[in-house]
Amino acid sequence: MKNNLTITLFIILFTSVLQSCSTKNDAFDLGNDLITLDVSVSSQEVDDLGDLVPQIDDADLHKAAKVQRQEVSFDREHYIVAELKQESELLNTASIESGGRDKNEKIAAIKRDPIARAIKFRLIVYNKNGDFLQSKIYNISTSGAVTPEDGQPLSLLSDQYTFVAYSYNNNIAPSESLNGTKINTTFNLSALTETSDFMLFNSGLISVSHNQTTKLNIILKHMLSKITVVVDATATNGYLIRNIGTARLTSSRTGASVNFESQILTPTGGTVNPTISFPTLNTSVVTSTPISVTNNITNGSLSIGSLNIGPLTSNTALNFANINLLPGVHYRLIIKVNPKDAFLTESGIPAVRINGKIWMRHNLGANTTSDADLLNSPNANFQSLFGNYYHWGRNVIAATPETGATANAGANNYWSNVASDRAWMGTNGTVNNPIKNTTNDPCPSNWRVPTVLEWNDLINSTTQLAEDNRGASANWTAANNRYTNAKVFRSKRDRNVILTFPISGYYHAGNTDANIGPVVSARTLVERGLRGAYWTSTESGTDNTANRVLMSISDNGAITGYGIRNRGFGLNIRCIRQ
């Protein structure tokens, strides 16, 4: 494991020059006084993609780095989607630190969090020859305070040392015998279990100077793979998970030995099939006790003997194959029970359920009593289904289907006075866990503007074929009076379930810089009949830009992305159920 990727050590040495009154002038006196170490632990570290053990090859890394997704049948009306995701995929990007990626580095990102729980760790001191000198147990409190268990700080003579810290991530002091060992000695981790953890830190060889207080700041690195299984039945609208049959993960190993010098963890013992327990049932979302494994698993599997959700029962084993795990990476297997795709009515509003998510069948602002698809009208006019146009992050209408070639500036000129980040997202919301900002979101109660991930899920769960386009191909050209074109999203599970999106163009905020795009006057209607443009609630984070969906004539003609300084544009909105 690359030392500069897996450990971080900050040594702050405040050195004073000792003046000798007899024979030495400005000489550095090593002396024999003891030096006290001030030990702290700033954080714990989990790899996002893992440069975790050198023997993992790129093929295994490539398999394990992706979100792993599969579907299985549950009953005639429901199916199950299982997604294995790295924990970092479920977090705000603010908690992720970028890392290198070259031919020698397999890590893409590192997640660091403070340790705010009561655990013990062992700090070991090796001399410059790698011989074991001493060790001391430290406690970390729930507030993050670090104290030696015996109440005495660690003191050393001036010299060069390597400091190693390790913990089983619990409140039990590590007790392996180290007498007579060296830093490159490989020894078994006797305290490992299926539900335990192992964290490691190595400072490398550092100099401790005479008459100084040395501050040793430790970052404990998680070395084991950990998987948590979540069964989610929220899409069944109120049914509770009553029982989960025996769940097992295959091909794992829980024993290991470690070499502190190389920081290589080697799996030991035979393969086992640990049982995954779910301590709390009778809720709509059930979370397992995490399972730790020491080996990289390729083509593993998880089986669940049976599943009972409200009146729904499957006594046939559910099997999820081709599970790939890397050591040191934390995963979450999310198993969602979804009703099959269908048309429905939500709070009196026509809607469609696709892959468990419920979408309005009409654009925001369109008359929801109108036929949403106009399937019985070969030469349909979709103008009445355009809905309104909105600036990103605002709940004020920028234009209507009848506005014409140029929109009004409006009292607040939101064309140039653009919304700030998170304008459509609640304070604690994330792209994976969206929360509606009720002040700015124009969607009605119980609905909100969808995130970019929700749009991607819709795109991936449907087809957008050219053969399903509404309007003659020759007429898919830009014209302000082009009302005949629409893009059809067809469910991959039920071809009769569709969503129709009018190709209504959008209103440009204006551009005078030919270097970044066509010169366009402010508030101008563009590309009606050629492209549809729909907002997501997700900003891109740069240059007043937000993510949107563009729809075009071609097969798979729907993509998410972002334009340049586009938050002031006027685009359509298709709301999603909260």
Residue with tokens 């009445």: 384
Structure tokens at 258: 């470690």
d(CA 538, CA 545): 9
In 204-338, where does DSSP find H-type helix?
none
d(CA 368, CA 360): 9
Averaged pLDDT for residues 421-430? 91
Torsion sign, CA atoms 436, 437, 440, 445: positive
Q: Give the range with max mean pLDDT: 21-30, 233-242, 310-319, 464-473.
A: 464-473
Averaged pLDDT for residues 418-447? 94
User: Above 80 in pLDDT, residue 3?
Assistant: no
**pLDDT cut 90: percent of the chain above it:** 66
The amino acid that residue 121 corresponds to is F
pLDDT digits (tens, 9 = 90+) for 41-50: 988 888 654 3
Averaged pLDDT for residues 360-386? 96
pLDDT of residue 32: 60
pLDDT of residue 43: 85
Averaged pLDDT for residues 497-512? 97
Torsion sign, CA atoms 341, 343, 346, 351: positive
**Closest by CA position to 361, among listed 576, 77, 549:** 576
Backbone angles phi, psi at 468, to 5 degrees: -95, -5
Residues 6 or more apart whose Cβ sits within 8 Å of residue 333:
82, 83, 84, 227, 228, 229, 230, 302, 320, 323
d(CA 459, CA 464): 8
Of 40-49, 234-243, 557-566, the poorest mean pLDDT is in 40-49
**Closest by CA position to 536, among listed 437, 463, 387, 431:** 431
What is the distance, to the nearest Å, from the Cα of residue 432 to the centroid of all Cα atoms in its chain?
7
pLDDT digits (tens, 9 = 90+) for 435-480: 999 999 999 999 999 999 999 999 999 999 999 999 999 999 999 9
Structure tokens at 448: 């909100």
d(CA 454, CA 444): 18
Sorted by where each starts, the structural domains of the chain and their CATH numbers stand as 3-49+113-222 (2.60.40), 58-92+224-339 (2.60.40), 340-578 (no CATH)
Predicted model pTM: 0.69
